[in-house]
Structure formats: C-alpha cells, structure tokens
Structure 1
Amino acid sequence: MKIAITGSTGMVGQRLVHSLQEQGHHIFRVIRSRNANFKEPTISWDPEKQFIDLQQLDGMDVVIHLAGENISKRWSKKQKEKIEKSRVDGTHLLSTSLARLKNPPRCLLSASAIGYYGNHPGSSSLDENSEQGKGFLPEVVTKWENATQSAEEKGIRVVHMRFGVVLDTHSGALRKMLFPFQLGLGGKIGTGRQILSWVALDELPSIIQFLIEKEDVVGAVNVVSPEPVTNYRFTKTLGKVLKRPTLLPIPTFLLKLLYGQMADELLIEGSRVSPRKLKHSGYTFQHSDLKRTLEHMFNN
C-alpha cells in the first residue's frame, strides 16, 4: 500500500516507518522542511500556513497522522496554545485536504490520547464509550478528534488512536524516568495509587497494522495495554528490572511547583483505561505484562 505519515520523525513515527517498510509498504513522509534528506519520497505541508501539496497526497491508500506539539512541558498559556493549535489546526488541514482529493485514501488513522477521559479514581474503568472528562487535555482531545469531520463526511474511514503512555527506553516518559532510578533515587509519585495506562512502543506497529486492515473498526480506539498498573507498582517493577532501590517518594507539591497544571493532569492523577474495542475486534497483545515488557526493553 501507499501510506502517507505525518510526524514520521517522532518516537512512534520512526518505529512505524521501519515496520511498515519491512512489510513491503511504500511510505511517503509528510514533512515541513523542504531541505530534509530522506530516502523515502516526501509530501510538503505547513500547518501554520494551512498548506499541503494536494497533488502529492492524491492516491494514497492510507494516511497516518501523528504530528503534534509535545505535551510534556510546563503548560504556560503560550505552550497550551501551541499544543491545541498544532493538533487541531494540523488535523483540520489534513482532513479538509483529504476531502478535496479526487482519489482520497480509504482510511485515516489519526493520533489522539486517553487524556480525553480526564483523571479518575483507580476503581473506575474507562472504555471508548466513556464520557469526556474535565480539564485542558479532555477539551483539546475533543477538538482534535472533531477536526477530522471533513474526512468522515467524505466517506473516509477515520480511526482516532487514543494512545496511553508509550513506553520506550530511548525516548518518551520512560526515558525521562531512567536517570533518577539509575542513581538509586527513584520512587513513587505522591501516594502512588494513581493508575498508569501504558502501551509498549514495540506494540504500536502491530496495532496500527491491525487497524489498517480491520475495516469495520471506526472512531475512537484506546491504544493501551489490557493491564494498567498503579504508579506504585510501576515504580517497584522498574526498580526490580533495573536492580535499583525505589525508596524516595516524589512529593506532589514539588511537581506542582515545577510543572503546574501539567503535573495535575499528567503526573499526579491517572485513569484506568481499557482497550475494549481492540480486544473485541480480535487483536492479541504481545506486550501486556509490565515486568516482562520492561525486561524485554532493557535486554534488547
């Protein structure tokens, strides 16, 4: 298949490009820089200027939209505007452009986030039918997903991939945690009771390939492991795998001081999210046990 990918240089995008190429698909990188040097063909776009090369985009079988501003920074007013603008405006541009094509793709897989549900106590289990939560992220995710409306009206099958916390040793949230753990300074965050709904980076290419092929799957799909864990269990498991102590809890007041609202919505609280639609559609997880997943990551 001919597959166009935005955000192809990010953590998920890099792994996905390699995996899809191994399966024989033809990859087209949707990029901003005109001077970028890739072995794959490229399609020019500039979301800020609302520009995309329609001629190059025409005739794709699948479009995978992963681009967006990093949310793991302190949420100043300016940063929050950048986060919302990058996700909503970029998705709207892509969606309206696909709707204008003579030969539109049959499928648009658009990145989203379990931040849609907001934060909930550990006992509350959430699936794709659960309601939108409260806070900055739920509002952004709702606007982000609604921005695909033009593609949906064109008859393109749209899937909103609501990613959980993606675990990888070389980038992302896990990478940021490693330094204090390696120094023996790792510990739970606050009470440690908040739920971490995670997914291994190594799992994502298989899930995305499954979503491409499963033509009856539409709308929101929770891309998370079927076994979420508490922050306490995650901390203890990571410590065991790294053979490091986990005795120093991180006080919540310090995180709030450093990161403000971002700490409340991403670090201090959490939610138990289920991949109900993936499981009911027949997907079998390769990485569902946290300890085995972390051992695999650090031993390969």
Structure 2
Amino acid sequence: MSQTILITGGTGTIGRRLVQLLLQQGFKVSLLSRTNKPIPDVTTYQWDIKKGHIDPKAIQTADHIIHLAGAGIADERWTDARKDEILSSRTQSTELLAQALARNPHNVKSFIASSAIGFYGGDTADRPLTETSQGGSDFLAQVVRAWERSEDRVAALGIRTVKLRTGVVLTMEGGALPKLAQPVRLGAGAPIASGQQYLSWIHIDDLCRLYIQALTDESWQGVYNAVAPNPVTNEALTKAIANVLHRPMILPNIPGFVIRMMFGELAITVLGGNYVLNKRIADETTFQYNYADLTNALKDLLG
C-alpha cells in the first residue's frame, strides 16, 4: 500500500516540485494549507498557524511529514515586522505540528524538516563548514537555531527527525537564479562586490530527491547540509550563467554599497558568502547527485 506524505509549504517553489516527484514515484500526497484550494491528485487539509488550528485528520492519515513552511527569507526588506514573521512562521508552525502529534493518534514514522545553512551565519567567507561547525550569531543564524530547536520538539516524541540545512536552491521558478540570469541575458551581467563570496548551491531536483531519500531511508537522522558538492564564487556562478547563455561579461563588478542601499540588512544574503560542505551526505549515505556540476545544473535549468 502506498504511503501518505503530509507536506507543509507544499504550494511554494520547492513544495510544488516535490509534490510532482512524490506522485511520480507512487506516493500519496496531502498538504496542510491555509486555503482549501483543490490541487489535482492531492488531499488538502486546513491549518491556521496564528490561531493554533490544525485539522487532526491531516496527522491521523500521514505516514511521514515533510515540513517546508516558512516566510521567504529574501522576498521583502527586513523590517522589524518582517523579521518577526520570518522567525514566527517557522517556529510556530513547527510547534503546532509537535502539539498535534502529541495529542492525536497517528502512524507518523519520520519528520523531514527544512532548515538553512544560515545556521552558520550570513558571511563565513571561505572557511569550510560541515554539520559539526559552530553556529553564527547574526539574525539568520538566530532564526535557524530557534527553528531547529522547535524541530527538536518533534524528535522528543520519538519520531525520527531529519533536518536539511539547505543552501541556495537553483530553479527557474523563483529564488536567486532568475534574478541573476535576467541581466546576463540582457548583456548586463556582472559579479557582485568582490565576486569572491562563496555560494553553496543545489539544483531543485537534487534537493527534492534528498527529501525523498531522507524519508525512505531510516538510517538518516539529525542534521545534513543539503548542498551540492562544489560551492562556487559569485563571479564563477555569473560567468557560468553567461557561458551557458552564450552572453559576454563586459561590465565591471556591481559595488557592494549599491546592493546595501537597495536591500538594507537583507543585502547580507547576496554580499555574504558560505563555503558549506555536504560531509554527512557524502560520508554516510548512498545519495547520488544528478547535478553535482554547476554547468550541468545550469544547462538543465537555463536550457
């Protein structure tokens, strides 16, 4: 009998692709959503995080939970209100799931939870970071630490819990890649600031396949850096996009102060760099990347 995967955040960029791949592999999929909008082949249950409401049937019918819900980090400028939303959308949603799992009879075998490499800090330069590296102290690091602590509440119920600290997800459906590719297409692509800040990236399909392997392979437990094997600099990424699109790179680098003026504190997500390694995935799992090479990933996405 096929297993039922309950997904939160299933209508976001990653969630939509993950739903497609799960259905292709014969899983049943249900979503927790604020709206009751019907989605083909998917059962939708309602929840309201602010009111603390969750349809108990969602928990009672699930074999596994994949938790992706959370306000977009780079969608808006970081006002105080937006920062509160970024934090609370992650911690409150997870705590609501933990409460529902504690209260309701269920058969949930695993809880595969989204996290972020922001745990290590917004700018860690070229220092190699693994799952055992120390956390940072800036806003993003504090958010991820609180987020992972809330995920520990599910683990405390005896449910196998996996946290995927995700890097920059490459997809044309949203995120960084369309923003980087558009000026390159127009002949106006240029590295940002020094261009030497590292980017730890992953193709969206590899990320979704990581989620699926984490829920089907019971040996997975705890924290994994969900990044491709080879971090690249901002300059190398911009040049690779230009090569794939057959466009020249003629402009000087975009100065960092321009980015800071445009984005305020949010600029750290572009100006900061992280050299994050997928050590546990490489050393402890059988997972094989389809897109370990940046050029292959870009050819697939920018085709």
Q: List gaps (5 residues or longer) in structure 2.
A: none
Between 1:86-95 and 1:240-249, the stretch displaced more is 240-249
> 2:49 aligns to what?
47
CA distance in 2, matches of 1:292, 1:110: 27
CA distance in 2, matches of 1:138, 1:206: 26
SS of residue matched to 1:41: strand
Please say if 1:283 is aligned against 2:284. Answer: no
Q: Is the 8 A contact 1:196 1:270 kept in 2?
A: yes
Please say if 1:153 is aligned against 2:149. Answer: no
Paired residue for 2:248, among 245, 249, 259?
245
> 2:115 aligns to what?
112
SS of residue matched to 2:210: helix
Deviation at 1:291, TM superposition (A): 0.9
Deviation at 1:202, TM superposition (A): 1.8
- After superposition, the C-alpha distances for 1:177-199 in whole angstroms (9 at most, x for unaligned) are 22211111111110011000000
- After superposition, the C-alpha distances for 1:138-166 in whole angstroms (9 at most, x for unaligned) are 00000001112331111001111111000
CA distance in 2, matches of 1:128, 1:55: 35
Deviation at 1:252, TM superposition (A): 0.5
Deviation at 1:243, TM superposition (A): 1.3
Please say if 1:103 is aligned against 2:127. Answer: no
> 1:196 aligns to what?
199
SS of residue matched to 2:156: helix
Q: Is the 8 A contact 2:181 2:241 kept in 1?
A: no
SS of residue matched to 2:229: coil
- After superposition, the C-alpha distances for 1:58-87 in whole angstroms (9 at most, x for unaligned) are 141100011110111211111111111111
SS of residue matched to 1:68: coil
What TM-score results when the alignment is normalised by the length of structure 1?
0.96
- After superposition, the C-alpha distances for 1:94-119 in whole angstroms (9 at most, x for unaligned) are 12212222124110111110000012
> 1:125 aligns to what?
128
CA distance in 1, matches of 2:181, 2:254: 14
Whichever residue aligns with residue 261 of structure 1, its letter is E
Between 1:53-62 and 1:193-202, the stretch displaced more is 53-62
> 2:140 aligns to what?
137
Deviation at 1:205, TM superposition (A): 2.4
CA distance in 1, matches of 2:262, 2:174: 21
SS of residue matched to 2:132: coil
5 Å-filtered alignment, 1:11-50, equals 11-34=13-36, 36-39=37-40, 40-50=42-52
> 1:210 aligns to what?
213
Please say if 1:260 is aligned against 2:264. Answer: yes
CA distance in 2, matches of 1:100, 1:150: 13
Q: List gaps (5 residues or longer) in structure 1.
A: none
Deviation at 1:298, TM superposition (A): 2.1
Q: Is the 8 A contact 2:72 2:86 kept in 1?
A: yes
CA distance in 1, matches of 2:183, 2:301: 18
Q: Is the 8 A contact 1:44 1:52 kept in 2?
A: yes
Whichever residue aligns with residue 50 of structure 1, its letter is G
Whichever residue aligns with residue 234 of structure 1, its letter is L
Paired residue for 1:272, among 272, 275, 299?
275
Between 1:127-136 and 1:54-63, the stretch displaced more is 54-63
Change (3 A) 1:154 1:112: same
SS of residue matched to 1:90: helix
> 1:56 aligns to what?
58
Between 1:240-249 and 1:182-191, the stretch displaced more is 240-249
> 1:225 aligns to what?
228
SS of residue matched to 1:42: strand
Q: Is the 8 A contact 2:59 2:106 kept in 1?
A: no
Whichever residue aligns with residue 38 of structure 1, its letter is I
Q: Is the 8 A contact 1:188 1:246 kept in 2?
A: no
SS of residue matched to 2:50: helix
